[in-house]
């Protein structure tokens, strides 16, 4: 979402070069710092420094899977093989060693809140939100109420009550159908 917000801002302010955004579909990202509740590991790692650089080297599959398990719904948990696929993706090319740098998006969302939320609230680009309501990172109803209040031009799809932070993984069919409905609406 962070990259999409910046590109939307640039698109709407003629600063994008040759990027044109015809529509934007969001899902369960921490759009608003005031309704975003990062997990414990994210909080620790987002403050770059010696401690976070040491912790990135200590994280193993068990710690990773335990932490990520908490942001999936109780009935939409990944299989052990899927957890291993996620972990393998993070470990590729030592990606786990830069997790503290990647998590800077949390600090950037606070720093650039007005710019990015302003882009969402003022754009004429068609917007849609596909949301998993069991998300502990962007909890319902707090997140959705703020989203609907501030991003009034957006349409919204709320998926099954058991879907959490990763709706595209937890309910791929529901997510796909919601997305198709959105892009077929214009």
Ranges of each domain in the chain: 2-183
* Dihedral Cα 14, 15, 18, 24, nearest 10 deg: -80
Cβ within 8 Å of residue 180, ≥6 positions away: none
Strand pairing category for 155-158 and 24-26? unpaired
pTM of the predicted protein model: 0.91
Instruction: Kindly report the backbone phi and psi dihedral angles of residue 123, in degrees, each rounded to the nearest multiple of 5, phi listed first.
Output: -70, 155
CATH architecture of 2-183: 3-Layer(aba) Sandwich (3.40)
Mean pLDDT by 10 residues, the chain (186 residues): 92 78 94 93 80 87 94 97 97 92 91 97 97 97 97 97 97 98 96
């Amino acid at each position: 979402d962070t990259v999409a917000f910046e590109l939307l801002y640039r698109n709407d302010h003629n600063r994008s070069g040759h990027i044109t955004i015809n529509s934007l579909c969001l899902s369960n990202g921490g759009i608003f710092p005031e309704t975003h509740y990062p997990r414990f590991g994210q909080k620790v790692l987002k403050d770059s420094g010696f401690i976070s650089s040491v912790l990135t080297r200590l994280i193993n599959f068990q710690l990773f899977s335990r932490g990520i398990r908490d942001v999936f719904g109780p009935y939409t948990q990944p299989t052990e093989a899927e957890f291993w696929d996620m972990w393998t993706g993070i470990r590729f090319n030592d990606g786990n060693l830069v997790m503290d740098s990647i998590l800077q998006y949390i600090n950037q969302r606070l720093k650039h809140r007005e710019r990015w939320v302003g882009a969402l609230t003022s754009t004429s680009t068609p917007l849609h939100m596909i949301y998993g309501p069991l998300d502990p990172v962007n909890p319902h109803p707090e997140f959705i109420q703020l989203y609907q209040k501030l991003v009034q031009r957006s349409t919204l799809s709320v998926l099954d009550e058991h879907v959490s932070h990763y709706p595209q993984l937890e309910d791929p069919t529901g997510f796909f159908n919601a997305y198709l409905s959105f892009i077929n609406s214009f």
